[in-house]
A and B are shown apart, each in its own frame.
Chain A
C-alpha cells in the first residue's frame, strides 16, 4: 500500500522484510537514515541482528564473514564510506560472497562535500560487483529484493545505487513491498559453500600465478553472464509486484522514433522524462536510454541508438580521460557497428542541480552538433 515516507526509511523497511540475518553499518556521517532506522528495528526486535561497527571497513568485513558463514547479509553506506570499503569490496566479490549494499550516491572528498554525484560507486565499477542505479525511490524498494535474489543465485555481490539527498532525503508516496510479497519471491538463502567447523573449507586463499588469473577471469565472465539473471528477476518481480523498470538492464522511453536521445543513470533520468515530454509537445523527437545496470555493462543497449544523436550525461568522471559511461558506449557502438553521434556532458558533481531546463538545453546543443563539455561552472 502506498504511503508517504522518506526514501531512506522506505529502504530500511524493505531490507527488514527481506529478512537479513546480519546487518552491520557505520551509522555516522556520511551515513543516511537507512542505518539509523535499521538499528531502531533491531532494538524493537524486528530484525535478527544489527551491529553498529566502528567504520565502514568493519561493516563490510563483518558482512563478508557473515556471508561466508551462509547468512543473508546487508550493509549501507555512501561516498567516503564506500571508498573506505574499497579493499574488502574486491575481496567480497573475489570470494564469490553474496551480499547487498545500498549505496546513497554522494561525492568524494576533496573538497569535502556531502552532496550527490556518482563518483563514489562509479569508482568501484571494476570490483566485480553488479551495480544497479535507480531513478526513483519506488524503484529502489523494488530493486532491493531483486538484488538479494540475484546476488544469492549468482554468488556475486550487488550494489543498489540511489541518489543521495535527491532520493534518500525525499519524502513522497512509496508502495513499500511487504514481507508477504517478498517472502513469496525471495526464498531463504541456500549457500553453495559455507564456513562450517564440522566441514572446514578455505575461502580467499592464496593463488599462485598459475591460478590467480583464472579466478579473476571466471568472476569477470560470471558478472557478464549475470545479465541473464538481472533480466529474469525483473520479469519475476513484475509478476509479483506489477512494477517493472525496462528490461532490468536498461530502460527505453520514446526511443524508436527519437532523433535525439538523453542517456544517463539515476534520478536525473526522471527529470529527463519531463524534458522529453515537453520537447515532444513542441514537435521535437526526443527519447531516453536509461542505463539501470552499469555492471555488467549492457552493451546491447547501443543498438537502439543507430542513426541517432545522443547526449551521454554523467555525474562522474575519469580524471585525465573521457567520461566513463561515454567511453564505454563509444566502444560498444564501434564494436557493434552502430552509427550514432554521441556527445559527452559531465555535470551535477557535488550536488550541482541538473534541471529539466538544463536537459532540454543539453539535447538542443547535441542536436546542433557533437559536444564534449562540462555542464555548469
Chain B
C-alpha cells in the first residue's frame, strides 16, 4: 500500500488534491482512500490530508503516520511543521519552492524534489492555489497514478474552463520538477 501525506495551508487545496489522487486511482481500477487530517480548517492555517492507494480494498481507519510520499504545498511550513515526520526510508518529499532541494534543511533517508508551483499557479490560474500544479510534479516523481488519468480527473472536477487551466498547471509542473 502506498501512503501519501499532503501538507498545505488552508485555502491551497490540500484536501482537494488528496481527493483528486484517490479518484484518479479509483478510475485506474485501484482501491484508494483520501481524507483530511481531522481538524478545524481555517484559511492560512497548516492543514494536512492523506491518501492511500492499494491493489485491494483498504480497510484501515486510522490517521497516516508513516507515509511513503509527502507533498509540501508551502515551503514556509518547513520548520513550523515536521513535514518529514514518519517518512519511510527511501521515501520522497516534494516541496513547492523556488529554492534548490539541497537548501531546504530537509535531511534524512529520503529524496527531496522541488518545483515552483506558486509561479505556475499564478501564471496558469491567476491565483496561488497550487494543488493541481503540485500534483503534476507528484505524478512525475512518484508515478503513483498516471498523468492521463489525473488530467481527466482534473477536467471533470473543475469543469471545462477552469479544468483546462488546471490541466495546464499540472502539465507545467510535471515538466519543471527537479531533484
Residues of A within 8 A of B (CB): 2-4, 6, 114-116, 136, 163, 165-167, 169-173, 267-268, 270-271, 273-274, 351, 353-356
> In this assembly, does B57 line the interface, its C-beta being within 8 Å of a C-beta of chain A?
yes
CB pair B62 A354 closer than 8 Å = yes
User: Number of B residues whose C-beta is below 8 Å from A?
Assistant: 23
CB pair A356 B31 closer than 8 Å = no
CB pair A173 B57 closer than 8 Å = yes
Can you spell out 20 A-B residue pairs with CB atoms less than 8 angstroms apart?
A3-B26, A4-B22, A4-B25, A116-B38, A169-B35, A170-B33, A170-B34, A171-B19, A171-B34, A172-B33, A172-B34, A172-B58, A267-B61, A270-B59, A270-B60, A271-B59, A271-B60, A273-B59, A274-B60, A351-B38
Contacts of B47-63 to chain A: CB distance below 8 A:
57-63
> In this assembly, does B32 line the interface, its C-beta being within 8 Å of a C-beta of chain A?
yes
CA–CA, A268 and B59, complex, Å: 10
Chain B residues whose C-beta falls within 8 Å of the C-beta of A167 in the assembled complex: 61
Leading 3 A-B pairs by shortest Cβ distance? A4-B26, A270-B59, A267-B61
CB pair A171 B33 closer than 8 Å = yes
Chain A residues whose C-beta falls within 8 Å of the C-beta of B32 in the assembled complex: 4, 171-173
CB pair B62 A173 closer than 8 Å = no
CB pair A271 B26 closer than 8 Å = no
Q: A4-B32, A115-B38, A351-B38 are in contact. Are A173 and B26 (CB under 8 A)?
A: yes
CB pair A165 B38 closer than 8 Å = yes
Chain B residues whose C-beta falls within 8 Å of the C-beta of A2 in the assembled complex: 26
CB pair A353 B63 closer than 8 Å = yes
Distance to closest chain B CB from A266 (angstroms): 9
Residues of B within 8 A of A (CB): 18-19, 22-23, 25-27, 31-36, 38, 40, 57-63, 65
Total cross-chain contacts (CB, 8 A)? 64
Given contacts A4-B32, A167-B61, A170-B35, 19 further A-B pairs with CB under 8 A are: A3-B26, A6-B19, A114-B40, A136-B59, A136-B61, A165-B35, A170-B33, A171-B18, A171-B22, A171-B35, A172-B33, A173-B32, A270-B59, A270-B61, A271-B59, A271-B61, A274-B60, A355-B65, A356-B62
CA–CA, A169 and B22, complex, Å: 13
CA–CA, A169 and B62, complex, Å: 12
Chain B residues whose C-beta falls within 8 Å of the C-beta of A268 in the assembled complex: 61
> Chain A: which residue is nearest B27 at the CB level?
A4
> Chain B: which residue is nearest A174 at the CB level?
B26
CA–CA, A2 and B35, complex, Å: 18
Chain B residues whose C-beta falls within 8 Å of the C-beta of A274 in the assembled complex: 59-60
The contact of B61 among A3, A114, A166, by CB within 8 Å, is A166
CA–CA, A273 and B26, complex, Å: 23
Chain B residues whose C-beta falls within 8 Å of the C-beta of A172 in the assembled complex: 22, 31-34, 58
Chain B residues whose C-beta falls within 8 Å of the C-beta of A165 in the assembled complex: 35, 38
Distance to closest chain B CB from A354 (angstroms): 7
In this complex, the member of A165, A173, A270, A351 whose beta carbon has the largest number of chain B beta carbons within 10 angstroms is A173
